[in-house]
Structure 1
């Protein structure tokens, strides 16, 4: 800490610390060797399961051991009652919960959790009740995880998986409200914006929205994202969502309206690279859709070229990229394709 004088270890204390760390390493290597030896010997006993727990406690990123653990459990399940299987799975869910509190972004922990949920015995009566309780518990866990770190993309991805797997589907309008809450708390929450694109697309498709209905729904979204752009024009998240809303072939009136809005923002934030980038992109898109004379389209392309030249000065680290995007509009078309599938 600043202002606190560091105390140097004596030679004796330093040696004691070294020996302690060496002892930990030796202990870990001994457990690792034992577990891997059991794996090679196809030991699928309860004792082997316990040893994997000890090793994962020390290193929850050891995906080979997670695979081995699942193999052990699968070998045990045929001789167990449904209640006993659920007991094992409940223990593993508790185990992964404790790991996620310390390692919230380790893929293997999330993967094992999915496996546990998918391994709950199927059937009517009590087993159906277990399945429903397990899935409800997952939503509560994820909300706690996102309360702790609202931008944890692992938790957001897992949330989409849980929502898609719930025995009783949850209204997508609820998820829209949830994403909006997270976005309004922090406009820089890229994962929440991304989740919102998925939910909206699903609603429009499932409810067979007409083009006019989609347009009206997007107008409301433009209002939301405009708040984000004016609040923090230097954050990429809102700009990516804005580009997704505009799409590949936006109605001309929307494109002209959004260009005007961004020009207003550009006047207030002349050095915002994302603002200039959006103007250049949408100007090229307007040139592509232009129904005026060739001179009108060329004028728009020249304006986009001017904006890209400004970007080269504002953001010199990406100078070559802007030159590529300017060349015949190819770069902007490729990027539009990628954003459309975002």
Structure 2
């Protein structure tokens, strides 16, 4: 760190550190050998379960051990346990993985084990007053939503957490209204426009809400254009915003909307003349004009505008100059 004087370690201190590190490596290798030997012997005992706990606390990316742990539970411990005891065991595993996620929030195998735990919660004695919701299951799924909320508070762009959130939302016995989840993505996006996962979640929610008629299509789509325009003008170099804008535009069949958005992007390009994404989007949407609305535009003018932008992009983004050159050729050969 700046301003902190670095203390030079003595040869003795460095040697002691090396010995300590070597001891940890030796201990880990011995533990690994022990667990793999138990696995080979099909040891489904509680002692084997404890061994997997110890090694996974050191190395949560050891997916073979996660698989072995699940086999121990399924083959050795669950068969001799009551539903209540099984629920307690799964709760312990969920607690263990919660602790692991604090240190390793992007390790797939931890998230995967949480899914397995939820899918193996037994039927419990508690139901709601209508008798159709198992109390244990509801408690577990509600807890998972709380955990994933906390994980996304810590890192709102953790795509593992967003993926798990979709899983939890789909599995909750009492479904959360999609409009509530849409409001959640709005808060995350407004806090940080560069949140690709939140934009992606939004596409899924809106697609469902529009298809079911639970959200007014015309009004809400205009609201989305307003949201994404604010993001574009705030950070014109953020790729996730432009990808969402293209999703919102769809096939570009509405000529009026297409022309309007081209005009908006041109305003931004006038302010940010070196914006690669502005230029790429102008070319992308003007090519749609050429393909779908050629009878209502000045084709030669629009084609020349695209070719000019492609020339600028080749200078601004030389790593992709061949791609831009190929698009230029397609424009030149099109009728």
Q: Which moves more between the two structures, 295-304 or 192-201?
A: 295-304
**Residues 105-164 of structure 1, C-alpha deviation per residue, up to 9 Å, x if partnerless?**
000000000000010013663681010000000111111111110111111111011001
Quote how far apart the aligned CAs of 1:216 are: 3.2
Unpaired runs of 5+ residues, structure 1, are 331-342
**Residues 211-260 of structure 1, C-alpha deviation per residue, up to 9 Å, x if partnerless?**
xx534321110000000001111111111111110112330000000001
How many residues are matched? 326
Contact 1:290 1:297 survives alignment (8 Å)? no
Match of 2:130 in 1: none
Match of 2:266 in 1: 263
Match of 1:335 in 2: none
Match of 1:166 in 2: 172
Quote how far apart the aligned CAs of 1:329 are: 5.7
- Under a length normalisation based on structure 1, what TM-score does the superposition of the two structures give? 0.91
2:37 matches 1:31: no
**C-alpha spacing 1:23/1:123, structure 2 compared with 1 (3 Å):** closer
Quote how far apart the aligned CAs of 1:306 are: 1.4
Match of 1:323 in 2: 325
2:230 matches 1:221: no
2:35 matches 1:4: no
Task: Give the Cα–Cα distance (whole angstroms) in 2 for the partners of residues 249 and 273 of structure 1.
Answer: 21
Task: Give the Cα–Cα distance (whole angstroms) in 1 for the partners of residues 328 and 43 of structure 2.
Answer: 62
Quote how far apart the aligned CAs of 1:312 are: 1.0
- State how 1:153-302 maps to structure 2 within 5 Å: 153-207=159-213, 213-292=216-295, 296-302=298-304
Task: Give the Cα–Cα distance (whole angstroms) in 2 for the partners of residues 5 and 84 of structure 1.
Answer: 54
Unpaired runs of 5+ residues, structure 2, are 128-132
Match of 2:92 in 1: 91
User: Which secondary structure state, in structure 2, belongs to the residue aligned with residue 262 of structure 1?
Assistant: helix
2:110 matches 1:109: yes
Contact 1:189 1:237 survives alignment (8 Å)? yes
Contact 1:93 1:116 survives alignment (8 Å)? yes
Task: Give the Cα–Cα distance (whole angstroms) in 1 for the partners of residues 329 and 172 of structure 2.
Answer: 48
User: Which secondary structure state, in structure 1, belongs to the residue aligned with residue 295 of structure 2?
Assistant: coil
Task: Give the Cα–Cα distance (whole angstroms) in 1 for the partners of residues 242 and 36 of structure 2.
Answer: 49
Task: Give the Cα–Cα distance (whole angstroms) in 2 for the partners of residues 175 and 253 of structure 1.
Answer: 31
**C-alpha spacing 1:329/1:118, structure 2 compared with 1 (3 Å):** farther
Contact 1:233 1:272 survives alignment (8 Å)? yes
Match of 1:100 in 2: 101
User: Which secondary structure state, in structure 1, belongs to the residue aligned with residue 134 of structure 2?
Assistant: helix
Task: Give the Cα–Cα distance (whole angstroms) in 1 for the partners of residues 72 and 144 of structure 2.
Answer: 24
Contact 1:288 1:297 survives alignment (8 Å)? no
**C-alpha spacing 1:46/1:197, structure 2 compared with 1 (3 Å):** same
- State how 1:52-91 maps to structure 2 within 5 Å: 52-75=52-75, 76-91=77-92
Quote how far apart the aligned CAs of 1:305 are: 1.6
- State how 1:8-23 maps to structure 2 within 5 Å: 8-23=8-23
Contact 1:271 1:314 survives alignment (8 Å)? yes
Quote how far apart the aligned CAs of 1:206 are: 2.3
Task: Give the Cα–Cα distance (whole angstroms) in 1 for the partners of residues 35 and 331 of structure 2.
Answer: 57
Please, what is the CA RMSD of the aligned residues? 1.8
Task: Give the Cα–Cα distance (whole angstroms) in 2 for the partners of residues 68 and 329 of structure 1.
Answer: 57
Task: Give the Cα–Cα distance (whole angstroms) in 2 for the partners of residues 327 and 95 of structure 1.
Answer: 57
2:139 matches 1:133: yes
Match of 1:305 in 2: 307
